[in-house]
Structure formats: structure tokens, C-alpha cells
């Protein structure tokens, strides 16, 4: 018979037999969880309370040369709703909150109540890839809970704040989410719009479309940042939690050579000219001949990059760089200037102008006014086609081609316009017999207004041809470090400085009494320039009747120019001579610019009272 002690001992053994394996199992399990699979469980746990926030820097801004803002990013708020949170769990049919919120939104955004009421529907259709509702087995469209409805994007801060307060007062909690964002803005509206370009927003990212926005997209695009942290139940970072932080980087800022005050003057006068002459297109640009810096550049029609409805294909293009036009007489000084430089003619060489009609290879060439003879200076002053063609014949085809190509015709200016045209200056082997009489007077060649501006910079800059500049420097906003955009040094176009001086003197005669552009003259200043009127060539139809390009290009003061300006009108209405339509715009802009630049007039040149 077993004693009490024996019974206890047996029970103890059984208990040990049961407990020891249990303890071992527990230890093994503990080992598996805490040591072997530790990392796996830790990651699972972290995934639950770790969150990642993507931060985005701001896209680079664009400024004028003095730091006036032209393109920026305006803070705004994007508002989305979770309509499921509008439901009353106790009374599913209660739509009072939905109605109240739809009313608030329609009042805030001045939009249709019905539209917002529809957006706030707690259910939405399940849709297939093509966007069509999916029909269920019961023949009805399948419904899904609606947890995400975009209410408004790019809402101004004050409007969003007001809405927030109203929502709070009306106790509509946990329905609207207000997230911070930025919207591309062009504070100066239409000013310089064709050059600046614009961006579209796709999935909250700015996608550059045209203009400088497109050309400098890589530099201006911001780098996204990433913040990973352990959060508490309200979503805030835990004080001692893990935190990884990769900072976002703002895009680089671009500083142009454009001067906003000069640009404003040009745009204002262009508006006046556009209203007066109603041309199909109007181009104008101003440059500093010494540096090649473009001070202002404008075209009509244009658009407001802040208002999408103003975008039209014709208005949105940078046509001043992309369009090639037959320049007409404004190209004459280059052939004649080179003829002077190479010694083929002097200012006093007399040219027979055949009383206004000259036949060459059986084809007539006419002057707008008949002249018997003209000196070479007179050829420029009166803008004689026949006189220029005869000077070109003295040079020969090779020299004429050399003269025109040396001033950059047929070559891109290198400005940051992706679709810039190189124009058209055919090689000599492609010239027909008439080319030598037509190219020097601006027919048969195609030139962009910017190429012409560059060539005139050489005439204004004592013969030195500069490289045009539109972008002055690029700045890293984080460090303040700026990188100057470098250009090659200017090239001298004239072998004899006297030839250049003679040419400039001849061009000053154009704006004096007896010249073709007296309307470009500015009292108190000597203006050198040239008018141009060319019939418009329409591919497939030849030269159109009654359609002209009318231009004036000039620089002032002629001896030490502060700026070079080009004004070109395509199909002006009412008049078509460059001297009538383009020269007054040059004068209007020039007068104001000289005041702005504080360039005093020469008292000797002021009209006597």
C-alpha cells in the first residue's frame, strides 16, 4: 500500500512530466518569437505604426534681371471628402449633413448645389477600364462605398480657412480633408507669356509644356523628399520613435536678362499698335547691343497663362523665335555694309535706279518710288530695291552669301527656345539667276525676328556681333549659389571701322527728313534704322495680294546705342508700309525707354521753338 508521501511523489512526477515539456515548449516558442523571427515581427509591428510622408519641394521660380518675380508658386489647398463619414449610423436615410455640406460648398465655391450633392454621395458606381459602370448579376450597376471625392483643387488659403471654420461650426467632422499644395502662378499675367510658357498639372505634378518652363524644366523641377517615422494614434511622430528624413529640394531659380519695366513699356505700346493696325501677328524685341542681353520680347496675339481659356495654338507659340519671315528691306544694310567694308562701293557711289523699274534676266524689279540715280547712301535712305540689287551684283553671289551668313542669317540664335527656326538662306549652289537680286532685298530668304535683332546688334555695337542672351543666371535657392550663363565673345563683322561708321550714318538718314522712316525719329536723339515692307509669301499660293510684313529695326542714340529694337507686323490693316505702321511704335517705345534709362537728349538735336 502506498503511503501518502508516495502518492505525492507520484503526483509530483506526473506534474513534472507535464510541466517540463510545457516549459520547454514555451521556451522554444519564446526563442522562435523573440530571437529567430524577431525581425519579422518587429517589421510587422512597425508597419502598423510607421508612416511615410512624401514631401515635395517647390518648382523653381523665374525672375527678371533685377529680381522681379515673373513665375512663382502660390500656396493653395486641395480639398477632398470622405462621404461615408456623412452617414448617420442610427438613421441611414438621414441626408441632412450631406445637404448641409453641399450647401456650404456651393456657397463657398459659387458652384452648383446639385453637383456637390452628387459628389457627396456615400456610394459610387464600380467602373471598368473604359469608365463604364459594371453591371452586377442582378442586372443593376454595382455600387462601392465612396470614400474619396475631390471637392476642389488649388483653393486660395483664405477661402479654405473660411470653409474650415464653417464646417467646424456646423459640426461636420471627419469628412473634409484639407491638404497643402502649390499652384504655378504667373503674377504678371500676359506679360512675357509666350517666352515663359506654362505647365500643366498631372497627378499633382507640374508638367512643363512650352517656353522657358519646358527648356529649363530639369533645373526647375524640385526633388521630392521622404519622411519615415513612428506615429502615435493621432498620426504625430513619437518622441523617441524611429525617424528617417530625406529632405526635399526646391528647384533652381532662373533669372532672365529681361527688364520688367522695359517689358511693361513694350507690351503697353504693342497693345496700342495691335488695336490700331489689327495685324495677324505683331512681334517686337529690344536688346542691349553691347552685351546681347534681350531686355524685352513680346508678341501679339498672346495669352494669359493663368487663364486656360485664353490658350490658342497661335497665341501660345513663341512665334518670334519660331516663325521665319521674308524680311524685306530691313536686310539691305548688311549687303551694302559689306560692300562698303570690302571697298566695292563708297557712300557716294552713284547707282542707276532706272526710274523705278529694272529688268534683270527678263524679270522686273521695282522701287516703291521711281528714282533716276541714287548714291549708295541714298539707296539706304530711300530703300531702293534696284540700287541694292545692283550693289549685290557688284559683289557677286559668293560675297553676298558670305555677307548675309556672316551676320547669322540661316543660323539659330541659340536662345532657349526648343522650336527655334534657323530661317532659310540657301547655299550659293542652290541659287537661281535671280537670287542675287532678290536675297539682298529680303525676298527668297527667311529670317526670324530674333535673327534680325541679333544682326542689328552688330551694327549698333561698332560692328561686333554679340550672342543673344535671354537667361542671365541660374540660382540654387538652398545655397544661394548662382551660375552665370556664359556666351561666346562677340565677333567683329567689319574689317574697316570707317565702313561701319559710314553705314550707321547712312542709316541715321533714314529717320531724317527725306528718309523712309521720319515717323521713327525721336526729338533730341539720333535714330539709326531701316524700314522694311515685304509681300507675304504663302506656300503653294505664291505672294499674296494685299498681305505684307511691315517692319522697322533701329537703334538709339545712333553713336552710342542704348538699345536695338525691332517691330514687325504681319498683315497690318489700313496701311502696310513699315514706315507707317511699325516706325511709330518704335518711336513710342523708344521715347519712354530713353526716359526710363535716363539718357539725356542732345540739345542740338531738339526742335527749335
Partner 1 sequence: MKNKPRRQARNQTAPIGGMLLTGLKFLVMLAILTGLVDYYIYLNQKIAETERAILNNRQQLSRTIREIEQLRIHKEQLSAWPHIRAMILRFDLDLREPAPGQVANIAVLSPAQAAVIPLENASNFNPAAPAPGTVPQTPLRRVSRN
Q: Which active-site residues does the annotation give? A: 329
- What are the b/e assignments for 575-589, b being 16+ CB within 10 Å? ebbbbbbbbbbbbbb
User: Phi-psi bin for 534: left (phi > 0), alpha (psi -120 to 50), beta?
Assistant: beta
- Distance (Å, rounded) from C-alpha 295 to C-alpha 65? 9
Query: Given the complex with partner 1, which of 493 and 588 has the nearer CB atom?
Result: 588
Query: Given the complex with partner 1, which of 142 and 268 has the nearer CB atom?
Result: 268
- Minimum CB distance to partner 1, residue 293 (Å): 20
- Minimum CB distance to partner 1, residue 154 (Å): 12
Query: Given the complex with partner 1, which of 361 and 597 has the nearer CB atom?
Result: 597
- Among residues 247, 248, 252, 253, the alpha carbon closest in space to that of 57 is found at 248
- Minimum CB distance to partner 1, residue 340 (Å): 33
Indicate the DSSP class of residue 118.
Answer: H
- Distance (Å, rounded) from C-alpha 63 to C-alpha 55? 25
Backbone φ and ψ for 113, nearest 5 degrees, come out as -65, -45
Query: Given the complex with partner 1, which of 270 and 379 has the nearer CB atom?
Result: 270
Backbone φ and ψ for 482, nearest 5 degrees, come out as -115, 145
- Minimum CB distance to partner 1, residue 396 (Å): 47
**Half-sphere exposure in the Cβ direction for 569 (13 Å, CA):** 32
- Minimum CB distance to partner 1, residue 156 (Å): 8
Beta bridge partners of residue 222, listed in sequence order = none
- Minimum CB distance to partner 1, residue 582 (Å): 17
**Half-sphere exposure in the Cβ direction for 602 (13 Å, CA):** 11
- Grid cell 561666346 is found at 488
- Minimum CB distance to partner 1, residue 121 (Å): 32
- Distance (Å, rounded) from C-alpha 443 to C-alpha 180? 56
Footprint of partner 1 on this chain (CB under 8 A)? 68-69, 72-75, 156-157, 180, 185, 187-189, 191, 236-237, 239, 260-261, 264-265, 267-268, 271-272, 275, 523-524, 591-592, 594-601, 603, 606
- Distance (Å, rounded) from C-alpha 467 to C-alpha 447? 16
| The three cell numbers locating residue 248 | 526635399
Which uninterrupted H or E stretch holds 27?
helix 4-31
Query: Given the complex with partner 1, which of 268 and 397 has the nearer CB atom?
Result: 268
Pairing of strands 62-63, 253-256: parallel
Query: Given the complex with partner 1, which of 248 and 368 has the nearer CB atom?
Result: 248
- 148 near 141, Cβ under 8 Å? no
What's the start-to-end Cα distance of the chain, in Å? 150
Query: Given the complex with partner 1, which of 270 and 339 has the nearer CB atom?
Result: 270
Amino acid at each position: 500500500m502506498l503511503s501518502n508521501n508516495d502518492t505525492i511523489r507520484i503526483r509530483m512526477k506526473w506534474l513534472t512530466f507535464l510541466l517540463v515539456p510545457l516549459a520547454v515548449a514555451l521556451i522554444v516558442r519564446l526563442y522562435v518569437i523573440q530571437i529567430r523571427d524577431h525581425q519579422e515581427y518587429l517589421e510587422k509591428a512597425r508597419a502598423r505604426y510607421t508612416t511615410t510622408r512624401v514631401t515635395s519641394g517647390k518648382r523653381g521660380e523665374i525672375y527678371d534681371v533685377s529680381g522681379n518675380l515673373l513665375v512663382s508658386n502660390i500656396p493653395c489647398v486641395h480639398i477632398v471628402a470622405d462621404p461615408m463619414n456623412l452617414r448617420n449610423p442610427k438613421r441611414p436615410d438621414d441626408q441632412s449633413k450631406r445637404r448641409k455640406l453641399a450647401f456650404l460648398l456651393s456657397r463657398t465655391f459659387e458652384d452648383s448645389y446639385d453637383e456637390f450633392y452628387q459628389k457627396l454621395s456615400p456610394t459610387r458606381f464600380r467602373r471598368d477600364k473604359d469608365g463604364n459602370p459594371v453591371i452586377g448579376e442582378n442586372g443593376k450597376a454595382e455600387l462601392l462605398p465612396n470614400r474619396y471625392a475631390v471637392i476642389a483643387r488649388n483653393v486660395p488659403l483664405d477661402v479654405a480657412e473660411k470653409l474650415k471654420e464653417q464646417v467646424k461650426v456646423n459640426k461636420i467632422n471627419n469628412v473634409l480633408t484639407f491638404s497643402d499644395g502649390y499652384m504655378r502662378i504667373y503674377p504678371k499675367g500676359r506679360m512675357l507669356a509666350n517666352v515663359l510658357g506654362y505647365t500643366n498639372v498631372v497627378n499633382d505634378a507640374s508638367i512643363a509644356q512650352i517656353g522657358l518652363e519646358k527648356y529649363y524644366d530639369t533645373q526647375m523641377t524640385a526633388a521630392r523628399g521622404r519622411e519615415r517615422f513612428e506615429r502615435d494614434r493621432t498620426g504625430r511622430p513619437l518622441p523617441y520613435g524611429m525617424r528617417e528624413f530625406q529632405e526635399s529640394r526646391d528647384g533652381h531659380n532662373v533669372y532672365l536678362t529681361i527688364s520688367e519695366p522695359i517689358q511693361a513699356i513694350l507690351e503697353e505700346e504693342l497693345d496700342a499698335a495691335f488695336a490700331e493696325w489689327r495685324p495677324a501677328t505683331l512681334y517686337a524685341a529690344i536688346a542691349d547691343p553691347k552685351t546681347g542681353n534681350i531686355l524685352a520680347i513680346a508678341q501679339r496675339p498672346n495669352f494669359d497663362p493663368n487663364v486656360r481659356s485664353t490658350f490658342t495654338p497661335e497665341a501660345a507659340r513663341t512665334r518670334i523665335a519660331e516663325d521665319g519671315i521674308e524680311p524685306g528691306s530691313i536686310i539691305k544694310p548688311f549687303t551694302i555694309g559689306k560692300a562698303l567694308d570690302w571697298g566695292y562701293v563708297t557712300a557716294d557711289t552713284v547707282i542707276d535706279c532706272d526710274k523705278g523699274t529694272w529688268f534683270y534676266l527678263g524679270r522686273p524689279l521695282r522701287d516703291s518710288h521711281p528714282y533716276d540715280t541714287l548714291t549708295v547712301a541714298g539707296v539706304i535712305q530711300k530703300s531702293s530695291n534696284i540700287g541694292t540689287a545692283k550693289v549685290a551684283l557688284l559683289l557677286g553671289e559668293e560675297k553676298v552669301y558670305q555677307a548675309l551668313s556672316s551676320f547669322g542669317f540661316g543660323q539659330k540664335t541659340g536662345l532657349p527656345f526648343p522650336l527655334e527656326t534657323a530661317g532659310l538662306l540657301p547655299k550659293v549652289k542652290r541659287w537661281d539667276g535671280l537670287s542675287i537680286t532678290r536675297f539682298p532685298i529680303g525676298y527668297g530668304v527667311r529670317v526670324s525676328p530674333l535673327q534680325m535683332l541679333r544682326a542689328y546688334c552688330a551694327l549698333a555695337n561698332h560692328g561686333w556681333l554679340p550672342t543673344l542672351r535671354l537667361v542671365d543666371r541660374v540660382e540654387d535657392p538652398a545655397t544661394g549659389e548662382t551660375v552665370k550663363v556664359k556666351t561666346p565673345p562677340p565677333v567683329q563683322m567689319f574689317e574697316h571701322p570707317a565702313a561701319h561708321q559710314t553705314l550707321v550714318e547712312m542709316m541715321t538718314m533714314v529717320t531724317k527728313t527725306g528718309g523712309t522712316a521720319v515717323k521713327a525719329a525721336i526729338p533730341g536723339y539720333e535714330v539709326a534704322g531701316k524700314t522694311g515692307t515685304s509681300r507675304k509669301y504663302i506656300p503653294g499660293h505664291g505672294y499674296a495680294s494685299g498681305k505684307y510684313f511691315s517692319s522697322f529695326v533701329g537703334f538709339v542714340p545712333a553713336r552710342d546705342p542704348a538699345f536695338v529694337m525691332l517691330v514687325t507686323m504681319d498683315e497690318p490693316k489700313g496701311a502696310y508700309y513699315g514706315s507707317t505702321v511699325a516706325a511709330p511704335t518704335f518711336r513710342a517705345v523708344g521715347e519712354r525707354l530713353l526716359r526710363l534709362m535716363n539718357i539725356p537728349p542732345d540739345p542740338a538735336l531738339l526742335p527749335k521753338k
